[in-house]
Structure 1
Amino acid sequence: MTDLILHQYAASPYAEMVRTALGLKGLSWRKVDQPNIMPRPFLTPLTGGYRRIPVLQVGADLYCDTGLILRELDRRFPDSPLTSANASGAAWALRTWAERAWFGATVAIVFGARGENVPQDFIKDREALSGRPFDVAALKAAAPVMAGQWRANADLVETQLAGAGPFLFGKQATAADLAAYLNIWFLASGEPRAFSRLTTGYSRLLAWQERMKAFGHGKPERLSAEDAFQIAAAATPEAQRTSIGDDAQGLAPGMAVTVMPDDYGRNPVAGEIVFVSPQEIAVRRQADGAGDVVVHFPRAGFVVTPVT
């Protein structure tokens, strides 16, 4: 089987979700350390402009967004699945809560505390990514309010663990655990004093944090970004699965489309549909210097626009 290649950087909480999933499944993988700001000269040509991290590469197939990456890991490696029988849909749905609503509070607390220490090149990059000002003063002002929201969301985890068991849906960690854990990991590593204060009295959450941490990151080996690009150039995209018909937008293989996130990093990727389902869309495109690649996106949280 072609190697799993994860384009990531160490401080990315979204990459930590995937690293923990790789540890949970006990997988070997190759780690490409990307800068936390643009440019990424060997990755951008492969993805066609998509600029969020992480990206999973398998030969000439690129998988964007953590939710789709986790689904693809489950498809390829069904042992230790990231859903359970009683949470086959809910575990995925809770990602939206953890990665959007709760994460907004986490970001405000972490960057509000760092304040003027945030580098200017990082601020400019995130302004380009989000399309709005990265206002450190506003984040500092919002941090006390967001602290209450953060603890309210943490309280939901504590309450759920009281009835469910060692993980959010029982004995097995799911995608919901991974998504909730990104907020725990990011606050604990980015602003440990706030983390200690906001988790006071949450013994179940803290024990759960240690169980999540114990999964580790599997068996990573380093790979350069240039070598990953050459692997894509030498590979052929995998044969696609049969698309599911009756698409809500009328999408079908062969159609030209653009795909982009619906919240931030709204850089459209253009290509020809080769696979479409309610949860995934894959487009074939020509990568400069690498030839044919297929870029895969989730449907939820992404905008697909036919090109006429």
Structure 2
Amino acid sequence: MTQLILHHYGFSPYSEKVRLAFGHKNLDWQSVQTPVQAPKPDLTPLTGGYRRAPVLQIGADVYCDTLLILREIERRHPEPTLYPGNQRGLVYALSTWWDRATFFPAAKIATSIMGDQIPADFIEERKTVMRQDFSKPASLKDLPLNLQRMHAHMTWLADMLKDGRSYILGEQLSAADLTAYHMLWFIGKNGGPEAEAMLPLHPLRGWMDRVAALGYGRRQEMSAENALAAARDATPEMPRIRADTDPSGLKPGQSVVLRTDDYAREPVHGALVAANAEEVVIRHENERVGVVHIHFPRAGYDVLASEAAS
């Protein structure tokens, strides 16, 4: 089973990153719409409780976090590459910097304009999960600081491109371009021209246009039930990483609890399949999908033995 199934929603910035990767590689993929907020009854059976979008499903293997999702897409479809010039580590570092530094400032710049259009239950959920208030009054109060933060990081980005290169690493696009683009796309998509006018976008426009022109590849809609059936009818692949190389000494078969290290820290419970310094694979089973292997990047996630996490 090699069908690429993306669980996402339209204005998710991280999903935009993956959709553009499909466009870059001209891939066929299946689109499953997932709710913007909890509950997500047709996603969590696949993820063991992990709730963020997007999630990439390939049969009974489920890939979480765009850092790992893009890596897996590259492994299966290596051309054209997302990691040119043997600079994979640099791409990971740049992507992690941008995502962690700009997500909340960018989101709150957008909600300073359109926060009054967001349903109250969504705002309350995000307060609990993200410890951030995305209401318009709160976003306006924080606007000066968030503008300072975005201007600082956008100035660094513009400096990387100021020699006239087409993309961050040179003349070839990389996953770092998709990462830097997606939060700027999110601001424009949700805050419109008013939000864009607050930011130093002019030196980035040509680069943004080149990234946007990638498109989304060839998309077909799929129901959540069919995606669950695809997992149920498949068998997880054998992991490609050694089973016994967890840097903290966790062993295959051990019951573990995984959480993100920042926000939305709902636990994922399962049995460790394999782990190393880059990836963690957990076995999870429930009646709707049977057995799945859930894959996470090591960076950004905490994994503990179940008894230590209780």
Fold shared, TM-score > 0.5 on shorter chain: yes
Is residue 2:233 matched to residue 1:237?
no
Structure 1 length normalisation: TM-score? 0.94
Cα distance per residue 1:230-252 (max 9 Å; x no partner)? 11111111122241655321123
Q: CA deviation at 1:210?
A: 0.5
Report percent identity of matched pairs: 41
* Alpha-carbon distance in structure 2 between the residues aligned to 1:200 and 1:222: 34
Alignment match, 2:195: 194
* Alpha-carbon distance in structure 1 between the residues aligned to 2:106 and 2:10: 17
The amino acid of 1:194's aligned partner reads: A
Alignment match, 1:26: 26
Residues 243 and 253 in structure 1, CA contact (< 8 A), matched pair in contact too? no
Residues 86 and 169 in structure 1, CA contact (< 8 A), matched pair in contact too? no
Q: CA deviation at 1:132?
A: 5.7
Q: CA deviation at 1:133?
A: 5.2
* Alpha-carbon distance in structure 2 between the residues aligned to 1:102 and 1:131: 16
Residues 245 and 275 in structure 2, CA contact (< 8 A), matched pair in contact too? no
Which residues in structure 2 correspond to 1:1-308 (within 5 Å)? Answer: 1-85=1-85, 87-131=87-131, 134=134, 136-163=136-163, 165-192=165-192, 193-199=194-200, 201-202=202-203, 205-243=204-242, 245-308=244-307
Residues 187 and 195 in structure 1, CA contact (< 8 A), matched pair in contact too? yes
* Alpha-carbon distance in structure 2 between the residues aligned to 1:148 and 1:134: 18
Question: Is the partner of 1:241 in helix, strand or coil?
Answer: coil
The amino acid of 2:56's aligned partner reads: L
Q: CA deviation at 1:302?
A: 0.5
Structure 2 length normalisation: TM-score? 0.93
Residues 116 and 135 in structure 2, CA contact (< 8 A), matched pair in contact too? no
Question: Is the partner of 2:73 in helix, strand or coil?
Answer: helix
Residues 4 and 28 in structure 2, CA contact (< 8 A), matched pair in contact too? yes
Farther-moved stretch of structure 1 (63-72 vs 150-159): 150-159
Cα gap change, 1:164 to 1:61, in 2 (>3 Å): farther
* Alpha-carbon distance in structure 2 between the residues aligned to 1:268 and 1:11: 25
Cα distance per residue 1:2-30 (max 9 Å; x no partner)? 20000000010010001011111111000
Residues 61 and 238 in structure 1, CA contact (< 8 A), matched pair in contact too? yes
* Alpha-carbon distance in structure 1 between the residues aligned to 2:22 and 2:106: 24
* Alpha-carbon distance in structure 1 between the residues aligned to 2:81 and 2:252: 29
Poorly superposed stretches of 4+, deviation over 4 Å: 131-136
Residues 244 and 278 in structure 1, CA contact (< 8 A), matched pair in contact too? no
Residues 82 and 174 in structure 1, CA contact (< 8 A), matched pair in contact too? yes
Unaligned segments of structure 2, at least 5 residues: none
* Alpha-carbon distance in structure 2 between the residues aligned to 1:43 and 1:247: 27
The amino acid of 1:79's aligned partner reads: E
Cα gap change, 1:61 to 1:201, in 2 (>3 Å): closer
* Alpha-carbon distance in structure 2 between the residues aligned to 1:175 and 1:269: 27
Question: Is the partner of 1:163 in helix, strand or coil?
Answer: coil
Unaligned segments of structure 1, at least 5 residues: none
Question: Is the partner of 2:85 in helix, strand or coil?
Answer: coil
Farther-moved stretch of structure 1 (171-180 vs 78-87): 78-87
Q: CA deviation at 1:158?
A: 1.4
Farther-moved stretch of structure 1 (212-221 vs 146-155): 146-155
Two-structure CA RMSD over aligned residues (Å)? 1.7
Q: CA deviation at 1:293?
A: 0.7
Residues 13 and 183 in structure 2, CA contact (< 8 A), matched pair in contact too? yes
How many residue pairs align between the two structures? 306
Question: Is the partner of 1:191 in helix, strand or coil?
Answer: helix
Residues 199 and 206 in structure 1, CA contact (< 8 A), matched pair in contact too? no
The amino acid of 2:174's aligned partner reads: T
The amino acid of 1:292's aligned partner reads: V
